[in-house]
Amino acid sequence: MVSLDERQLKQKLRKLIGRFVTTDSKRHYPQLYSVLEKINDNHYPAFLCGGAIRDVLLLQSSIPRDLDIILGNVSKEKLEKDFSSYDRKETKLGGMTLQVKDWSIDMWLIQDTWAFKEGKISGKGFSDYPKITFLDIDAIAIQLFSKRGYKRTIYTNGFFKAILNNTIEINFEENPYPAKCIVRALQIADKFNFKIGHKLAIYITSYVKKTDVEELAEIYKKRYMATNISAEKIYGCLKQIEKQLKTSNKKSVKVSLEYNGDFIKSKNPSYKKNFDLFTIIR
């Protein structure tokens, strides 16, 4: 049963997405609108997904600069031809990224989604997409364009619950880029002052045994252009999570990338080698 709060959030989201896609972009961002208009003119089934939806809902005064769009009923060759005049490059997972002035737009065919291609779940439709995002805060897809008089279709799998609880949790664990998933989780939690769920906290501390903290810091700095992020801060954040896990009794934990503790740089720092540093609480 959908709660009243969730219904209200859906109504609000439809209104905000509609304004962003069909009003604001047309009036103020013609370069962006030209891409959206081409999708609409070709009648491709298209859904917006990813962080742009979260940002539109939580940062209503902010214009999302990174858009993720999944498409159906079109071949990859046709899509490339339709957008051949744009500055574009192919992504690692077979989609394409358009660089349109201040916007980075990732587009890919729904059937080419990693979890679908790898047979991780049954089904390959738009309604299945929210089942395979790593985080529940990303587990949503909303129709980019709808017919006049019809509501935009929304598919979700925990997105609104994450918003209402101010907590992010693992939605679908398997992912080809776990380090990027961890960085994304830390960034979202820190940016929006969200807690992270117990399962996600365990996943993060467990993965630290397999990688260098510097790698996470470099991914963070590159992906979010965050020059203030360092290995020290990531290390401190992970230690906070580990400490809370011991006493949280399977509850969510807080995240902060502010760190004032001791951190000694060396050629072989302890956080790289000591696999017992992060105790896994199950």
Q: Give tens-digit pLDDT for 177-223.
A: 999 999 999 999 999 999 999 999 999 999 887 888 999 999 999 99
End residue of a domain, out of 121, 140, 165: 165
Same structural domain, 20 and 54: yes
Give residue 13's domain range: 4-165
Same structural domain, 17 and 142: yes
* CATH number of the domain residue 154 falls in: 3.30.460.10
pLDDT value of residue 1: 52
Q: Report the pLDDT averaged over residues 17-35.
A: 92
Q: Report the pLDDT averaged over residues 130-137.
A: 97
Evaluate whether residue 117 is within a structural domain: yes
Same structural domain, 12 and 136: yes
Number of domains in the chain: 2
pLDDT classification of 123: cutoffs 50, 70, 90: confident
Q: Report the pLDDT averaged over residues 98-114.
A: 94
Q: Report the pLDDT averaged over residues 127-137.
A: 97
pLDDT value of residue 208: 82
CA distance 128 to 151: 19
Q: What value does the CA radius of gyration of the chain take, rounded to a whole number of Å?
A: 20
End residue of a domain, out of 112, 131, 165: 165
Q: Residue 93 CB: number of other CB atoms within 10 A?
A: 13
Same structural domain, 159 and 52: yes
Whether 175 contacts 169, CB under 8 Å: no
Does 122 score more than 50 pLDDT? Answer: yes
pLDDT value of residue 170: 98
Evaluate whether residue 171 is within a structural domain: no
Q: Report the pLDDT averaged over residues 236-262.
A: 83
Same structural domain, 16 and 143: yes
Evaluate whether residue 170 is within a structural domain: no
CA distance 33 to 160: 28
Average pLDDT, the chain: 88
pLDDT value of residue 277: 32
Same structural domain, 156 and 133: yes
pLDDT value of residue 209: 78
CA distance 106 to 84: 14
pLDDT classification of 266: cutoffs 50, 70, 90: very low
End residue of a domain, out of 165, 185, 203: 165
Same structural domain, 140 and 193: no
pLDDT value of residue 256: 86
Evaluate whether residue 279 is within a structural domain: no
Same structural domain, 127 and 253: no
pLDDT classification of 273: cutoffs 50, 70, 90: very low
Same structural domain, 15 and 60: yes
